[in-house]
């Protein structure tokens, strides 16, 4: 099953490589990985999406917790949560395509953030499925370039991941 | 406050940490540190002949004393030469700190002379690693390194020290921190009371219980607590190769060790158990055989300081995360308080069954009138040393024979590379032990293959007068490899034959030691006695043993615990 694991990590050089090293060393999957500093400058927040059996996921969280620089972590998929991914996508847009793409962007509640006579650059945020859905809707033949941020997530309601 | 250079701070920190010995080898990036070492005499430095040996020495010291070992090497090749030693310590959870020189921080990333990314290279085989980014940090980094290495599930910690952190003429205020602040590292200090209660209830209700103890009991210094609990319950106990000595092998409740080359009775008891209490063990593949066939009728209680060890390969019914000594102590007091007593009839019937298994096989091998059997060498050594020696070993058949036939009644005396299986471990480990146990007998049981992987340390032994006894069970082959080839590759002995062996006697003599060769069975015991009488000499004992011997029992690959070869022809 797909899981979103959110980690508070000491904001120190080398900490990220330990996390990434752990995944490859123990043969765990990484589907997406995002990392950035938090409001507390001593901490980074890392979100990793991975797949595996319950047993593998249990090992992943335990092994992550064993890393000295991992301060706290939560498997967001264990409860209600919000996940978001940002996509920037460049689409071929000429003639009648332009109106068609504009309509699709509106339906997906994206924004056209850059325009040339033949290209639209679209910004879209949502869960990963929505982004996949958009690419499908516009058709891969018109896609010139895609960049996705990887998943960020947060629990719904009162629950917070903090010290 | 005192003003010290980074190098002096490093050495002072080691003194304040109570470090007696460091094992190492100098080089450019470590020279400031070596100079600081020269100007004091509290911390003693042992100069090895290869950095790998320095790590195994620190490892042997740590296993025998329970205290973290310390290594000091230079950058680049000095540092990379330690990797096998570090990986060995990592697999067996041995506490140690490896101090590595590094090129100056201003040169890092420029492919400078003898630059290696030691933090990156060591990452997968350390508990943690740290780099020094400012000389002032040195005391704190050192304190942290030892704290992390020695607490929780122990392990090796690497400290990378760029040369400009130890510059002699830059001085800083020195104070050694009493405590370390690590918000993200808090090893458990006791087990969950509810879980322990549940475990004890299950233990007392069991009909076919087995206690399965591992190296964690030795590392956690919990042998006394374990022994008391096991005696109180009257249940059978087996332990892993790493757990040897955690419970007296001469006691009748002890079934010997389990797993691939474990005893018939230990493996049979495990397979038929209805309850397994695993303590400080990790259900390693050399123990469980095929996990899907592992102990089908057993419920499992698993006690370990490392939560990641629990339910990693075999699912635990009752997981208990905590230090083994504290958990065992709580279990014992609950057992004593409990009104419930073990079911005497069921336990008696279980013991009857176990005694039958014991009688069926026990540990046996065929003796011969003229050829020396490796097993009998170990049995004689056991007798001649009253079972009290520290025994280190290398890796191969000789290791298994030593573990099977030397019966250890005390922990910390059986010292081998269990998890990584590192040939070359035995001699330097023995040196580390002998250095701090000069009055104890220290035997290194080895093979002619393994001993040649760190043979250069005979020179170190001379320099520091380390009279260990090297027992070379010379079968003129990479015996364990050959055994697998006999069993799985129709005896095609691909590259498992050792040609052009040196004359080990002359070799030992050229290093200034004694050498004794034993070829005839008739002279085996008398010559071994002579060897052991040479208290102040390192003696290299080259014993020509049966070249065709195999280690048995041996679990059948991909079978269950109970599927074993008992000899070349008997399979159960
Ligand atoms: C460094 C290293 N290389 C290779 C091996 C694989 N290996 C395991 S046992 C063995 C043979 C050891 O031969 P020897 O030391 O003579 O012991 P014997 O089995 O003959 O008693 C080998 C090559 C290993 N364990 N370690
Ligand atoms: Mg051999």
pLDDT tens-place string over residues A90-109: 999 999 999 999 999 999 99
Task: Note down the domain range covering A124.
Answer: 83-151
Selected for mutation to probe chain A from B162, B184, B307 (highest A CB count within 10 Å) is: B184
Q: Do B184 and A69 touch (CB under 8 A)?
A: yes
Please say if the pLDDT value at position B399 is more than 90: yes
End of a domain among B310, B326, B360? B360
Residues B54, B472: Cα–Cα separation, whole Å: 21
* Average pLDDT of the segment spanning B3-13: 98
Grade residue B181 by pLDDT with cuts at 50, 70 and 90: confident
Residues A89 and A120 in one domain: yes
Please say if the pLDDT value at position B371 is more than 90: yes
Residues A6, A8: Cα–Cα separation, whole Å: 7
Contact B497, B419 (CB under 8 A): no
Locate the chain B residue with the closest alpha carbon to A24: B124
Residues whose CB falls within 8 Å of the CB of residue B341, separated by 6 or more in sequence, listed in order: B204
Task: Note down the domain range covering B100.
Answer: 3-173
Q: What percent of chain B has pLDDT over 90?
A: 98
A89 beta partners: A122, A146
Contact B21, B46 (CB under 8 A): yes
Residues A65 and A91 in one domain: no
Residues B390 and B529 in one domain: yes
Residue among B298, B309, B308, B301 nearest B327 (CA): B301
The reply to whether B148 touches chain A by the CB within 8 Å rule is yes
The pair phi, psi for residue B99, each rounded to 5°, is -95, 120
Q: What is the pLDDT of residue B2?
A: 87
pLDDT tens digits, B89-112: 999 999 999 999 999 999 999 999
Average pLDDT value for chain B: 97
Residues A63 and A87 in one domain: no
Q: What is the pLDDT of residue B351?
A: 98
CATH number, domain with residue A93: 3.30.70.1150
Contact B394, B472 (CB under 8 A): no
B369, part of any domain: no
Strands (E), B242-349: 254-257, 275-279, 299-304, 318-321
Residue with tokens 């020695």: B150
Q: What is the side-by-side strand order in the sheet with B254-257? A: B254-257, B237-239, B209-213, B275-279, B299-304, B318-321
Nearest to A58 among B131, B185, B311 (CB): B311
Contact A134, A32 (CB under 8 A): no
B570, part of any domain: no
- Residue with more model confidence, B157 or B362: B157
Q: Do B124 and A63 touch (CB under 8 A)?
A: no
CB pairs under 8 A between A and B: 35
Given B480, B554, B561, B564, which residue is catalytic? B480
Q: Do B311 and A17 touch (CB under 8 A)?
A: no
Q: What percent of chain B has pLDDT over 70?
A: 100
A157, part of any domain: no
* Average pLDDT of the segment spanning B173-201: 96
CA B238 to each of CA B348, B499, B557: distance values in angstroms, whole numbers, following the listed order: 18, 39, 21
Please report which helix (H) or strand (E) contains residue B87, including its range.
helix B83-91
Contact B522, B451 (CB under 8 A): no
pLDDT tens digits, B259-287: 999 999 999 999 999 999 999 999 999 99
Please say if the pLDDT value at position B549 is more than 80: yes
CA A10 to each of CA A7, A32, A42, B40, B383: distance values in angstroms, whole numbers, following the listed order: 10, 20, 6, 37, 55
B490, part of any domain: yes
pLDDT tens digits, A37-85: 999 999 999 999 999 999 999 999 999 999 999 999 999 999 999 999 9
ipTM of this complex = 0.94
DSSP string over B251-267 = STTEEEE-STT--HHHH
Q: What is the pLDDT of residue B363?
A: 84
B113 is annotated as an active-site residue: yes
B366, part of any domain: no
Grade residue B499 by pLDDT with cuts at 50, 70 and 90: confident
Q: Do B308 and A66 touch (CB under 8 A)?
A: yes
Residue B172 Cα to chain centre, angstroms: 39
- Token reading at B66: 């329970």
Q: What is the pLDDT of residue B389?
A: 98
pLDDT tens digits, B228-250: 999 999 999 999 999 999 999 99
Contact B410, B402 (CB under 8 A): no
Please say if the pLDDT value at position B344 is more than 80: yes
Start-to-end C-alpha separation, chain A: 28
A35, part of any domain: yes
A103, part of any domain: yes
3-class state of residue B512 by DSSP: coil
Residues B431, B25: Cα–Cα separation, whole Å: 16
Residues B80 and B125 in one domain: yes
A109, part of any domain: yes
Residues B60, B89: Cα–Cα separation, whole Å: 10
Please say if the pLDDT value at position B210 is more than 90: yes
Residues belonging to chain A with any Cβ–Cβ distance to chain B shorter than 8 Å? 10, 14, 17-18, 21, 25, 55, 58-59, 62-63, 65-66, 68-72, 163
Residues B149 and B290 in one domain: no
B555 beta partners: B564
Residues A14 and A74 in one domain: yes
End of a domain among B329, B360, B391? B360
Residues B81 and B138 in one domain: yes
Residues B378, B398: Cα–Cα separation, whole Å: 9
Residues A62 and A108 in one domain: no
Ligand 1 site residues (CB inside 6 A) read: B 394-398, 421-424, 447-450, 473, 475, 477-481
Q: How near does any CA of chain B get to the CA of A121, in Å?
A: 38
A156, part of any domain: no
Residues B234, B254: Cα–Cα separation, whole Å: 10
Domains identified in chain B, total number? 3
Q: Is B355 left (phi over 0), alpha (psi -120 to 50) or beta?
A: alpha
Strands (E), A39-110: 43-51, 70-75, 81-92
- Token reading at B18: 């109570």
Q: Please list, residue by residue across A23-34, b when 16 or more beta carbons sit within 10 angstroms of its beta carbon and e when fewer do.
A: beeeebeeebbb
B163 is annotated as an active-site residue: yes
A18, part of any domain: yes
Q: What is the pLDDT of residue B239?
A: 98
Q: What is the pLDDT of residue B315?
A: 97
Contact B405, B375 (CB under 8 A): yes
A8 beta partners: A45, A72
CA of B383 to the centre of ligand 2 (A): 23
Q: Do B184 and A71 touch (CB under 8 A)?
A: yes
CATH number, domain with residue A19: 3.30.70.260
Give me the half-sphere count of Cα atoms (radius 13 Å) on the Cβ side of residue A120: 22
Q: Do B124 and A62 touch (CB under 8 A)?
A: no
Ligand 1 atom nearest the C-alpha of B483 is: 19
Residues B261, B551: Cα–Cα separation, whole Å: 7
The pair phi, psi for residue A5, each rounded to 5°, is -110, 125
The reply to whether B119 touches chain A by the CB within 8 Å rule is yes
Nearest to B123 among A21, A55, A59 (CB): A21
Residues whose CB falls within 8 Å of the CB of residue A23, separated by 6 or more in sequence, listed in order: A29, A30, A48, A50, A60
Residues whose CB falls within 8 Å of the CB of residue B538, separated by 6 or more in sequence, listed in order: B458, B461, B462, B466, B467, B468, B469, B470, B508, B513, B514
A118, part of any domain: yes
Residues A27 and A95 in one domain: no
Domains identified in chain A, total number? 2
Q: What pTM value is reported for the model? A: 0.97
The reply to whether B187 touches chain A by the CB within 8 Å rule is no
């Amino acid at each position: 099953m797909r899981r979103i694991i959110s980690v508070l990590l000491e904001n120190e050089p080398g900490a990220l490589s330990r996390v990434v090293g752990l995944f490859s060393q123990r043969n765990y999957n990484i589907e997406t990985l995002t990392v950035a500093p938090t409001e507390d400058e001593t901490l980074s927040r890392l979100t990793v999406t991975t797949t595996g059996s319950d047993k593998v996921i249990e090992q992943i969280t335990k092994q992550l917790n064993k890393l000295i620089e991992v301060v706290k972590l939560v498997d967001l998929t264990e409860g209600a949560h919000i996940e978001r991914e940002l996509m920037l996508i460049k689409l071929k847009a000429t003639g009648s395509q332009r109106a068609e793409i504009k309509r699709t962007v509106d339906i997906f509640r994206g924004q056209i953030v850059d325009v040339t006579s033949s290209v639209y650059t679209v910004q879209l945020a949502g869960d990963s499925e929505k982004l996949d859905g958009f690419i499908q809707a516009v058709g891969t033949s018109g896609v010139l370039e895609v960049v996705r941020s990887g998943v960020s997530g947060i629990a719904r309601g009162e629950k917070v991941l903090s010290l | 406050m005192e003003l010290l250079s980074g190098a002096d701070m490093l050495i002072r920190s080691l003194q304040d940490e109570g470090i007696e010995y460091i094992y190492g080898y100098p080089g450019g990036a470590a020279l400031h540190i070596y100079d600081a070492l020269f100007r004091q005499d509290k911390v003693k430095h042992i100069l090895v002949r290869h950095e790998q040996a320095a790590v195994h020495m620190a490892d042997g010291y740590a296993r025998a004393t329970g205290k973290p070992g310390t290594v000091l090497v230079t950058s680049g090749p000095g540092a990379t030469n330690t990797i096998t030693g570090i990986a060995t310590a990592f697999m067996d959870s041995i506490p140690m700190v490896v101090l590595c020189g590094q090129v100056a921080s201003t040169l890092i990333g420029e492919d400078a002379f003898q630059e290696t990314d030691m933090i990156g290279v060591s990452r997968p085989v350390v508990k943690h690693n740290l780099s020094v980014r400012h000389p002032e940090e040195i005391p704190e980094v050192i304190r942290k390194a030892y704290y992390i290495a020695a607490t929780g599930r122990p392990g090796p910690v690497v400290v990378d020290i760029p040369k400009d952190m130890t510059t002699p003429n830059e001085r800083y205020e020195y104070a050694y921190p009493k405590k370390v602040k690590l918000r993200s590292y808090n090893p458990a200090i006791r087990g969950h009371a509810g879980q322990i209660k549940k475990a004890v209830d299950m233990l007392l209700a069991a009909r076919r219980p087995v206690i399965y103890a591992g190296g964690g009991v030795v590392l956690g210094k919990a042998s006394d607590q374990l022994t008391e609990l096991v005696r109180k319950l009257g249940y059978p106990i087996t332990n892993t190769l790493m757990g040897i000595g955690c419970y007296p092998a001469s006691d009748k409740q002890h079934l010997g060790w389990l797993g691939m080359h474990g005893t018939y009775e230990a493996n049979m008891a495990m397979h038929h158990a209805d309850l397994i209490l695993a303590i400080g063990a990790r259900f390693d593949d050399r123990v469980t055989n095929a996990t899907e066939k592992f102990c089908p009728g057993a419920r499992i209680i698993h006690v370990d300081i490392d939560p990641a060890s629990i339910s990693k390969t075999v699912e635990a019914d009752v997981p208990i995360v905590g230090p083994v000594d504290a958990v065992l102590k709580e279990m014992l007091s609950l057992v004593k308080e409990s009104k419930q007593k073990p079911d005497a009839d069921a336990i008696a019937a279980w013991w009857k069954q176990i005694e039958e298994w014991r009688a069926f096989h026990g540990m046996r091998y065929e003796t011969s009138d003229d050829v020396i059997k490796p097993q009998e060498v170990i049995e004689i050594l056991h007798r001649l040393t009253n079972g009290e020696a520290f025994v280190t070993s290398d890796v191969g058949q000789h290791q298994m024979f030593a573990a099977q036939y030397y019966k250890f009644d005390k922990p910390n005396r059986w010292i081998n590379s269990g998890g990584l299986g590192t040939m070359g471990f035995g001699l330097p480990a023995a040196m580390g032990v002998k250095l701090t146990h000069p009055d104890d007998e220290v035997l290194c049981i080895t093979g002619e293959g393994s001993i040649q992987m760190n043979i250069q340390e005979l020179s170190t032994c001379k320099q520091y007068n380390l009279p260990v006894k090297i027992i070379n069970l010379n079968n003129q082959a990479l015996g364990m490899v050959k055994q697998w080839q006999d069993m799985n590759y129709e005896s095609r002995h691909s590259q498992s034959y050792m040609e052009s062996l040196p004359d080990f006697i002359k070799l030992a003599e050229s290093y200034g030691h004694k050498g004794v060769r034993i070829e005839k069975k008739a002279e085996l015991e008398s010559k071994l006695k002579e060897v052991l009488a040479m208290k102040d000499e390192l003696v290299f004992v080259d014993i020509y043993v049966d070249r065709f011997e195999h280690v048995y029992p041996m679990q059948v690959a991909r079978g269950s615990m109970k599927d074993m070869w008992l000899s070349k022809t008997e399979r159960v």
